[in-house]
């Protein structure tokens, strides 16, 4: 650890923001790892339970989703189920709104990682410039102590500037590569989760549309059914017609 600290210290003051960016990247990587681990561990199982319950009873599916609201997929599927007898279009809009809210949470930290990817190499380049500048300042180009007008060079001082230039360049590139790897991994997980949400939402919407149309068809059938009084009138007319026919 002490050797690592000494190597970083060779980079000079420019290493301070580079180290800060690395700490921020590692913190985001740790937080996102926990987030995606929780989702991948039980998300598919909970979604399957909700959809299976929805095929039997939508109220039962809502109860299952309410018990698992700590999972993004449960909150996503719960949003339309909480509405009171919505039409299919409203049901779909509720799914889309819930998906947008969950995707915002999934994208947390992406902007900071993008900033690290952009800024870390620039800090490394700045350290290269300052290191080379320090090297040239430490060069003894005068003739003092030299013979024949030859320049004397203090190699130890020159090495300090060169070390600063190399360490900052390498540090900036390493931090940027780590941040880029974490960012691409997060984007990949987001894309997979978006596809999964789309499939689950479509399946739940199809289940609801079937239930909704069946309910509406039952209501229409019951409204077109003759009333008891009408049935009596029809029977009386039928009896009267039969009597007239016999006569």
Each residue of 141-197: pLDDT tens digit? 444 455 554 555 566 666 777 878 888 899 999 999 999 999 999 999 999 999 999
Domain boundaries in the chain? Answer: 2-236
The pLDDT of residue 24 is 94
Q: Tell whether the model's pLDDT for residue 125 goes beyond 60.
A: yes
pLDDT at position 133: 81
pLDDT in tens, 48-107: 999 999 988 888 999 999 999 889 999 999 999 998 888 889 999 999 999 999 999 999
Would you state the pLDDT for residue 26?
A: 94
Query: What percent of the chain lies above the pLDDT cut of 70?
Result: 73
Say what the pLDDT of residue 220 is: 47
3-state helix/strand/coil string of the chain: CHHHHHHHHCCHHHHHHHHHHHHHHHHHHHHHHHHHHHHHHHHHHHHHHHHHHHHHCHHHHHHHHHHCCCCHHHHHHHHHHCCCCCCHHHHHHHHHHHHHHHHHHHCCCHHHHHHHHHHHHHHHHHHHHHHHHHHHHHCCCCCCCCCCCCCCCCHHHHHHHHHHHHHHHHHHHHHHHHHHHHHHHHHHHHHHHHHHHHHHHHHHHHHHHHHHHHHHHHHHHHHHCCCHHHHHHHHHHHHHHHHHHHC
- pLDDT value of position 210: 84
**Average pLDDT score over the chain:** 81
Q: What pTM, to 2 d.p., does this model score? A: 0.73
pLDDT for residue 112: 94
């Amino acid at each position: 650890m002490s050797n690592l600290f000494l190597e970083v210290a060779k980079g000079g003051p420019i290493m301070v923001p580079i180290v800060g960016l690395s700490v921020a990247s590692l913190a985001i990587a740790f937080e996102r790892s926990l987030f995606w681990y929780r989702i991948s561990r039980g998300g598919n199982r909970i979604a399957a339970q909700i959809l299976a319950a929805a095929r039997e009873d939508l109220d039962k599916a809502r109860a299952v989703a309410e018990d698992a609201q700590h999972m993004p997929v449960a909150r996503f599927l719960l949003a339309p189920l909480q509405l009171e007898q919505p039409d299919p279009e409203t049901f779909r809009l509720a799914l889309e709104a819930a998906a947008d809210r969950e995707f915002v949470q999934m994208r947390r930290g992406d902007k900071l990682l993008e900033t690290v990817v952009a800024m870390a190499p620039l800090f490394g380049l700045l350290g290269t410039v300052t290191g080379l500048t320090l090297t040239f300042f430490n060069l003894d180009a005068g003739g003092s102590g030299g013979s024949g007008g030859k320049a004397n060079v203090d190699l130890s001082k020159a090495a300090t500037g060169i070390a600063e230039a190399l360490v900052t360049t390498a540090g900036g590139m390493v931090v940027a590569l780590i941040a880029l790897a974490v960012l691409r991994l997060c984007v990949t997980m987001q894309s997979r989760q978006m596809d999964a949400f789309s499939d689950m939402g479509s399946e739940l919407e199809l289940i609801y549309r079937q239930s909704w149309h069946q309910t509406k068809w039952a209501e229409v059938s019951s409204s077109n059914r003759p009333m008891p009084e009408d049935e009596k009138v029809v029977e009386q007319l039928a009896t009267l017609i039969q009597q007239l026919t016999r006569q």
